[in-house]
Structure 1
């Protein structure tokens, strides 16, 4: 900036033409104001104030009394360059919003009583909050907003913009969007999330989908925390909630499945689980038919399109075709020779379709064949949760400990510690669970298990 001032001063002689000076200053003010309005919607409109222009000229050491006609153009160029630099560096304007139909409380909290409440953002994005629902606007910046849906239903129409960034958090889930129209509801009492996508695309992340599940227009996602279940169906399926293969084909819940190995409780030291665990490379599971090597898709005949990978089918909600293909090839062979991506997709498909037996075997194989990977570590938590939900909290604690030791900052860390706390209380009592509760509150003071932890800590 000082260099610009030096260049401008060097080009200004001492002779003065007052009339021309006034005309040139007026032209300069008009040009800079017009350019600033185009670049930032008037963010530099204050430059149009003649007194402020004089202040800038004084900063450059160029009062009108010392600006000569012959070199005034050079001074204008220097000042214009300075204005352009300021426009380029000027921070983007933070979005604002107004609340209609409900009073806006401190901290961005909005509660719709008997009538719908509506939030209107300055970029055109709208959020309609159903009666009886509560939402808090946690953060707002130039790119978008982060909102917390505490309970109830919200309908969003997000205006598409470059680099837009919006999210709606509901319980342990987050819906990430850039520009779209969707409805999201969260029932805090039973831990159920529902997302109906009408336009665009979103990604839903949470404990049941740590890698994120993308949704396309016309799809519905329902996640049930208590059952450990996520299902994707069509919004137009007359309110049906199920997998893409059909809601009538619901498999038994893994919550009721026995721990790996039948009556035997398994833990991290017993990674084989049952007879379906990984075998030496090259062997084939007994009774498994010979077939194409495990993988996300088979070789297609000439001219035919290859089948989508298992991971893509899981992302699209087609869980049952993954399971059917794995069983057709021979489940044992898939577990022994399948890629990491295929094992992860198979485990996810089995969990979402409530095939606990297959999910346990796929997770066990993932840990045994790919130790140290993020998926191998996550499998410890998922196995612990399945054993826990299956009625063996004592065995689950060992899995939770394994996960927390291997991935203390992982995506399941808060839930693993919270579930461990509950499991310890169930098996060893409140006194034994209190240290775990204190650790949970220290690490996750606003986590989903914080109320339970505080109850254990308080005398």
Structure 2
């Protein structure tokens, strides 16, 4: 049945529902008021949904031609039928959201540094972002949203609605959902995804599950890219433990800090050759020992720095680094310790220490993935600190060293925005064209498309 046939049937029902004893004067007055309101709305909206409705009503004999008076009785049943038709024809409104717990969310990017951030959508859906985590809202429409979890943990409560479509992308994985409650944790450093499903159902897709793996309430999925393994277990059997409240899920979570400052890339890349390899850097070193072989004070009784950062214990990492001697840690510490120290410093808003740790990572381990990633993180620090020109140099460095790296899309998108700020739309347009070619569905795609407009 097409739309005209459906509306014709509605008209028949409306005629059948008009009682015989309706007061004629009252009916005429209400009919005139309704006709005037609908006609005025159709005119204001330029023949949109209301205009189409009027055309269909004229086609089935319910709506008068221009200049004519209605030839049919109009009462409550008819008004209800037409109201239902209007609702069915009216386009659904795009969802909106508000961010709580952090200042600003430019371009849909939300970073929870020292405390939890929360997103509240207009349909009642909420997303809680753990401290040390970073997420971008890439797309929002009337049915839901597509979100990119860069690192850390997001806890979602998705309001069930007909035709709802929500997704959380974490690395190469995507969690697809219509209405449910679950936690998704992405550890970017080792490529591990964990999904704890508490209510409803979801489907997880990715390189280890190309056809999608469905999860039921009470199940946990853990996918490890490096090992090429996926495991589904019961939350009860797994202890149903959550990551420590108040801490990020990974020591490599990338949360920008607007107050952090860093220098340009020249100083950090000068010592490119002669660095220790990533494998040799962490080989056969006891947990908690110093890089020069001496045991750290109290290290035997405590977890590694990476584990402490993952638990949100940034202060103890910084305190122990200063107790050991910050200079010695930067010069002789392992790659894992430098990465953890940089993360702890960023989350604790110690931009000076974070800059030194990232610079040391690039100087001592230039060929490692963390050494390359440090260029992007330094760029983001100066970008968020108000120096887009210096940030562009860092983004270029990262893209040259790691053109297909995990931050490639983010680096190119941020470079595009930074160039627009410093050089204007014309200067940014070639970067926008390149971004759309490489990342047509990326988080900065809408900005790039806008820049491509004349």
The bucket for the TM-score relative to the shorter chain is 0.3 to 0.5
TM-score, normalising length: structure 2: 0.46
Larger radius of gyration: 1
TM-score, normalising length: structure 1: 0.45
Q: Bigger relative contact order, structure 1 or 2, given CA contacts below 8 A and separation 6+?
A: 2
